[in-house]
A = this chain, B = another copy of it.
Amino acid sequence: MPPVITLLTDYGLEDGFVAACHGVIIGLAPEARIIDVCHLIPSGDVRRGAAVLAQTVPYLPPGVHMAMVDPGAGGARRAVAVMAGDRMFIGPDNGLLSWAVDACGGAAAAYEIVNDDLFRHPVSPTFPGRDVFAPVAAHLCLGRKPADLGPDVPPDRLVSLPKPTSKLRDGAVEGEVLSVDRYGNTQLSITADDLAALEVQVGDTLAVWLGRRQLTVPFRESFASVPPGELVAFADSAGLIAIAVNAGDAAQRLGLPPGAHVRLSPTS
């Protein structure tokens, strides 16, 4: 298999920024296969970048996974490479990589990226994706040892984002809106396993509390299990509970931004 490099950024698609990264990689490692994970992470939204990376990485071939969402680009945060399972993640040490690293079994080793023999010069302070991470990704693909990047970082010193959690309590489960997709489906931090622990089964009905509001929502196999325009809860393709409107926009209808508190329980 040709070596795989994947890219996730908040660069958008309106400029040549993504292409510059592709160009630098291909110039150094012509055989590399590049997969664009997503470049429309909202600008500086580390949490959204972390969620998309963690939920996509199980489906990507092992390789070098570069991610760059960094409101502090040019600031003081360090650049790191993190080994997890058969994968290497490179990006800023701001938590962006942390959920994906966890999804791959946790960090086995980590290195600060400081060896500027591997960078593209001159290094622009505002475009480390092009001048630091892209060439480092290519060199790793070509067989360079991670330990050549710079000094060891103890994995427990890496910055981690607080994990979105769910809590089972009093016959209910509490969590939050983790993200909202293009369709307006709201993905919760509550898992299919949480509902199983409450003995909720497909076909049951859920009581959903959003702040003071309470709704009754059917729990079904998919959004398509209810008529168009109706609310539904289901286990989504990442194993998390989503609240959706079939052929509609649940986030908009319910006014549910990321971070909003949600509580679910079986109706009695």
**A contact set with B: CB distance below 8 Å:** 1-2, 4, 6, 8, 11-16, 19-20, 22-24, 26-27, 30, 33, 35-40, 43-44, 52-53, 55-56, 59-61, 71-75, 124-127, 130-131, 181-183, 221-225, 228, 234-237, 247
Q: Which residues of B contact A223 (CB under 8 A)?
A: 73-74, 126
Known A19-B56, A26-B35, A73-B222; 16 more pairs at CB < 8 Å: A1-B26, A6-B23, A13-B40, A14-B38, A14-B181, A16-B53, A23-B59, A23-B60, A27-B59, A59-B130, A71-B247, A74-B225, A75-B222, A75-B224, A75-B225, A131-B237
Q: What is the interface of chain A mostly: helix, strand, loop, or mixed? A: loop
Closest 8 CB pairs of A and B: A74-B222, A16-B56, A127-B237, A23-B60, A12-B182, A124-B237, A20-B59, A75-B224
Q: Which residues of B contact A38 (CB under 8 A)?
A: 13-16, 19
Distance to closest chain B CB from A162 (angstroms)? 21
A26–B23 Cα distance when bound, in Å, is 19
Distance to closest chain B CB from A263 (angstroms)? 23
A35 and B59 in contact, given A182-B12, A224-B73, A224-B74 (Cβ under 8 angstroms): no
